[in-house]
Chains A and B, each alone.
Chain A
């Protein structure tokens, strides 16, 4: 007897998204793919006609938006509130000032040059609100949103909802994973090195949940790779803590993504406070610390 394994790979979110389904309805994977692509089209900051770019240009303080944008805005505020402002989706000015102005292949070397950092702490997330009944995004004009990691996490979570009835499935949105299935079988999760050589530094397993990895050694540029996409809202500059990579486990990919970033920005001494369901922390000195994760969080 044989069972089918379907792998659907497609470009989205600035890389390659993969959807695995082991048995079940193959159309479910197609629907999950459409969900990811729809989110990409609406929330990318690299296409001028995306809903996100239109919102960021809108001079009104109350902007009529679609349902997905409301979800994203609520998630952005929630991420800021949960982390005391450590994860702030309103740092687009700072990201661009650091030099990240166009989409790029994370495996390729970027040649951008960073401008002078703002050096100013920011709490932009506090100014984001949503009026659900009127479908309005409320924020001061000029406060721009960056979908970034929150968008990736949401993409995985939304796609996951479309696969819930399948026997076994997994989604990989550029390192933000959601896994599950009615078979309730554990899936092995490999965590790779921040060196980008593909070597595995830790192994865990999940039945139903999410894992996300955040770090400063990829999507980096500058002569010594000192500029990267992960901005510390306390300084307005690229993060410069003693941690270079964090993997976080959580019930959803959005939460895993937010926890990983908060842990990285908190530094090695406090990183595990953000990882109650398990995770892996890699220090700048190469030290690897692991809180094991097995089965469902």
Chain B
């Protein structure tokens, strides 16, 4: 086959492949985002039902054998003045790092 023709065919094939990929990306974003949202919702509903069953069976337990559970209290800054006022806990800072 003529080398120029072969090059042109390969170039055209690359363009077609790119077009297919772009099309797949556009379809993928829309379709999968919809599916993901629906699936996510379905999973939550299923889990919610499971957990209600578990809770009613008394299986929820904050402490675990394989984990650690810590619970502590901190003083509200206005403790002496806050009787009758619902304390609003300040969120504890968190850290993000590579894992």
> Quick check: is A236 within 8 A (CB to CB) of the other chain?
no
**CA of A26 to CA of B71, assembled, Å:** 10
Chain B residues 45-99 with CB under 8 Å of chain A are 46-47, 51, 55, 60-62, 64, 66-76, 79, 82-83, 85, 87-99
Residue from B61, B82, B89 with most neighbouring chain A CB atoms (10 Å): B89
Partner of B99, one of A4, A15, A168: A15
CB <8 Å contact, B98 and A20:
no
Interface size class of A (residues with CB under 8 A): 35 or more
Give the secondary structure class of A's interface: mixed
A81/B36 in contact, CB under 8 A: no
Number of B interface residues in the complex (CB < 8 A): 53
Q: Do A74 and B70 touch (CB < 8 A)?
A: no
Quick one: which of B60, B75, B96 contacts A190, CB cutoff 8 A? B96
Given the interface pairs A67-B43, A175-B98, the reply to whether A2 lies near B28 with Cβ below 8 Å is no
A81→B24 contact, CB < 8 A: yes
Chain A residue with Cβ nearest B30: A81
Q: Please, what's the 1-or-0 string for A18-39, where 1 marks a CB less than 8 Å from any CB in chain B?
A: 0010110011011101110000
Q: Does B9 contact A (CB under 8 A)?
A: no
The answer to whether B67 touches A10 (Cβ under 8 A) is yes
A170 adjacent to B99 (CB under 8 Å): no
Cβ contacts A to B, 26 pairs, < 8 Å: A1-B87, A3-B87, A4-B89, A5-B89, A5-B92, A8-B70, A9-B68, A20-B91, A20-B94, A22-B89, A22-B90, A23-B87, A67-B39, A74-B32, A78-B29, A81-B29, A106-B98, A123-B21, A130-B35, A183-B89, A191-B95, A191-B96, A192-B97, A200-B95, A213-B97, A245-B98
Please list the 4 inter-chain residue pairs (A to B) with the smallest Cβ-Cβ separation, ordered nearest first.
A10-B67, A81-B28, A174-B99, A187-B91
